[in-house]
Chains A and B, each alone.
Chain A
Amino acid sequence: DAGITQSPRHKVTETGTPVTLRCHQTENHRYMYWYRQDPGHGLRLIHYSYGVKDTDKGEVSDGYSVSRSKTEDFLLTLESATSSQTSVYFCAIRAGGDSNQPQHFGDGTRLSIL
């Protein structure tokens, strides 16, 4: 395994509540990513980070925010969860350098918003 821990692994919450998902890495990699996986859409990039305090939006960033205060931790926050954010969320890490450095994924967080 690539040294990625996502927490929690499962969460059920109600519409309108804030939710924070955590991604922790032990590889000291520069790049970290948050994706969501939905049937028929593959994985879609939400936000990514290219260093501590350096983050940017991905393809589906509306309703999400991120923070990276330490190299090892990348947090994804849903400020006010909606049912459309029910999904499986994956964190990925990449060492950086050449563009073909591979991304390695965690085992995901299954989030249900009722």
Chain B
Amino acid sequence: QQQVKQSPQSLIVQKGGISIINCAYENTAFDYFPWYQQFPGKGPALLIAIRPDVSEKKEGRFTISFNKSAKQFSLHIMDSQPGDSATYFCAAAGTSYGKLTFGQGTILTVHP
């Protein structure tokens, strides 16, 4: 049972373009929504996170947009760079021990 659905599976963007990755969740008890970035051979690293009491959070070139009524959230990477090429995971957690439910992942390739 996949409670967090992520799309697209893969994404190719030109340098300087905008990368957009979308996630949808089912469990209304989720109250914490992080995004992780993973490079080959490494563990996922926290990129940015949001709580459902705000609709948008921005950190540098990375922005999370959150739509509570639609149960959807998305990651926008502005001015995408080749160094952003990685796998991105959305996730969600409720109050129960901080357990994360992950989306399936998106492989982002940024061409120079």
Residues of A at the B interface (CB closer than 8 Å) are 4, 31, 33, 35, 40-45, 48, 50, 56, 58-59, 90, 92, 94, 96, 99-108
Whether A100 contacts B41 by the Cβ 8 Å rule is: no
In the complex, how many residue pairs between chain A and chain B have their CB atoms under 8 Å apart? 67
Take A31-B98, A42-B104, A43-B89 as given contacts and tell me if A100 and B49 are in contact as well, using a CB distance cutoff of 8 Å: yes
What is the size category of the interface that chain B forms with chain A? Answer: 20 to 34
Verify B100–A43 contact, CB threshold 8 A.
yes
Give the chain B neighbours of A103 by CB distance below 8 A: 34, 46, 98, 100
Of residues 35 through 55 on chain B, the ones whose CB sits less than 8 Å from some CB of chain A are 36, 41-46, 49, 51
> Looking at chain A's contact residues, is the secondary structure mostly helix, strand, loop, or mixed?
strand
Closest residue on chain B to residue A97 by CB atoms: B98
B23 to chain A, nearest CB (A): 11
Given A41-B104, A42-B6, A105-B99 contact (CB < 8 Å): no
A94 CA / B100 CA spacing, docked (Å): 11
Q: Which of B6-64 contact A (CB under 8 A)?
A: 6, 31-32, 34, 36, 41-46, 49, 51
Distance (whole angstroms) from the CB of B21 to the closest CB of chain A: 13
Can you list 10 A-B contacts (CB < 8 A)?
Answer: A40-B104, A42-B89, A99-B95, A100-B32, A101-B98, A102-B34, A107-B41, A107-B42, A107-B43, A108-B41
Nearest 9 A/B pairs, CB to CB: A105-B43, A42-B102, A100-B32, A43-B102, A99-B95, A42-B104, A107-B43, A102-B46, A105-B44
Please indicate the chain A residues that have their CB under 8 angstroms from the CB of B105 in the complex: 42
* A45 neighbours in B (Cβ, 8 Å): 99-101
- CB-CB under 8 A from A43, the residues of chain B are 44, 89, 100, 102
Q: Are B94 and A99 in contact (CB under 8 A)?
A: yes
B86 interface hit (Cβ, 8 Å) = no
A42 touches B103 (CB 8 A): yes
- In the assembly, what is the distance between CA of A105 and CA of B45, in Å? 7
B50 smallest CB distance to A (angstroms): 9
**B93 interfacial by beta-carbon distance below 8 Å:** yes
| A99:B98 contact, CB within 8 angstroms | yes
